Amino acid sequence: MKIILIGGSGFVGTRLIDNLLEIPDVEVLNIDKNNSEKYPELTRIGNVMDWQTLAYHSKEGDVVVLLAAEHRDDVSPVSLYYDINVEGMRNTLKAMDANGIKRLVFTSSVAVYGLDKDNPNETSTIDPFNHYGKSKWQAEQVLHVWHRSHPDWDIKIVRPTVIFGEGNRGNVYNLLKQIAGGRFMMIGKGNNKKSMSYIGNIVAFIWFLITREKTGYEVYNYVDKPDFTTKDLVHHTGHILGKKIPTIRIPYWLGILGGYGFDSLAFITRKKWNISSVRVKKFCAVTQFSSSKAMASGFVPPYTMEQGLRRMLEREF
């Protein structure tokens, strides 16, 4: 089986390649606009805005895993979200069609549901609050329309929640770094639950979906349980690292006011800061999602949440 990763030079793609290379009779090729630091020999340079290059490099592929995305909170201009996430989907489908590849695993996001929702599942109302979520939903719609005219395709969509793990440098890493370093500031009460996904489980689930070859169109949330509150994360971090974690608490209104201040500062200086109103809102929001469909599929996560958190903390801090 030849698996084509599009956008596989980043955190998730690198860990997925790690796993795939351990499986007999699996060939892997990565197409990305950036070379892979770990697997340059498996990488071909290509942009999702150029379907012909995608088609050229993906010849003789059996399955495509589409990971390429604009996902940061501070992407500018915002049109990049739609260029990469939506037009990139159209170009991927065009390249696959040119090569007769009919199997796709697409990593979307639980951001399509919005914030502070009541444990949404795959049939819940779509209500994205930012351009990232909106563009991911538009990409899913492109894929849904495509499947209507290509019913013989095998299409699987994974909507993961925030992904953490050793080697990651995203929002969870920054949060844990602050906690572990004793520089953590709790905004609000910290009782808001946060659904998270451990990288080792996400890549195992993607491989699980690849092995389930079946014509059709399926959507899966992916979340590792149980859901931790922000206070739980502080507690587990201190316990794993053997530290007493001092915590400064400030009210939400003051935190969001500070976020708007950094928004203004970013606009004036044209610099990107680690604090913004969007990040404060996301930090304080309930981001809890159902993964009952994925867990009823026969997939068994190889790691518990506690094991994943311990592996990351012990490796990074």
The pLDDT tens digits along the chain (317 residues) read 999 999 999 999 999 999 999 999 999 999 999 999 999 999 999 999 999 999 999 999 999 999 999 877 667 788 889 999 999 999 999 999 999 999 999 999 999 999 888 899 999 999 998 999 999 999 999 999 999 999 999 999 999 999 999 988 887 888 888 888 877 778 888 888 889 999 999 999 999 999 998 899 999 999 999 998 888 888 888 889 888 876 778 888 888 898 899 889 888 988 877 778 877 887 777 789 999 999 999 999 999 999 999 999 999 88
Q: Find tokens 């931790």 and name the residue.
A: 228
Residue 276, pLDDT score:
82
Residue 80 burial by Cβ neighbours in a 10 Å radius (0-12, 13-18, 19+): middle
CB 61 within 8 A of CB 4: yes
Is 282 part of any domain?
no
Buried residues in 139-169 as b, exposed as e (16+ CB within 10 A): bbebbeebbeebeebbbbbbbbbbbbbbebe
Record the tokens describing residue 238, joined without a space: 């201190």
Residue 179, pLDDT score:
81
CB 106 within 8 A of CB 91: no
Is 246 part of any domain?
no
Strand 43-45 to 154-160 pairing: unpaired
198 is catalytic: no
Find the domain containing 200 and state its range: 2-167+196-224+289-303
Residue 234, pLDDT score:
84
Q: How far is CA 78 from the centre of its chain?
A: 19
pTM here is 0.89
The total number of structural domains in the chain stands at 1
Q: From CA 167, how far away is CA 186, in angstroms rounded?
A: 24
Record the tokens describing residue 32, joined without a space: 């990305």
Residue 73, pLDDT score:
66
Is 310 part of any domain?
no
Is 119 part of any domain?
yes
CB 301 within 8 A of CB 201: yes
Is 48 part of any domain?
yes
Indicate which CATH number applies to the domain containing 209.
3.40.50.720
Q: Find tokens 């190889």 and name the residue.
A: 302
Is 200 part of any domain?
yes
Is 281 part of any domain?
no
Pick the catalytic residue from 113, 132, 198, 222: 132
Is 82 part of any domain?
yes
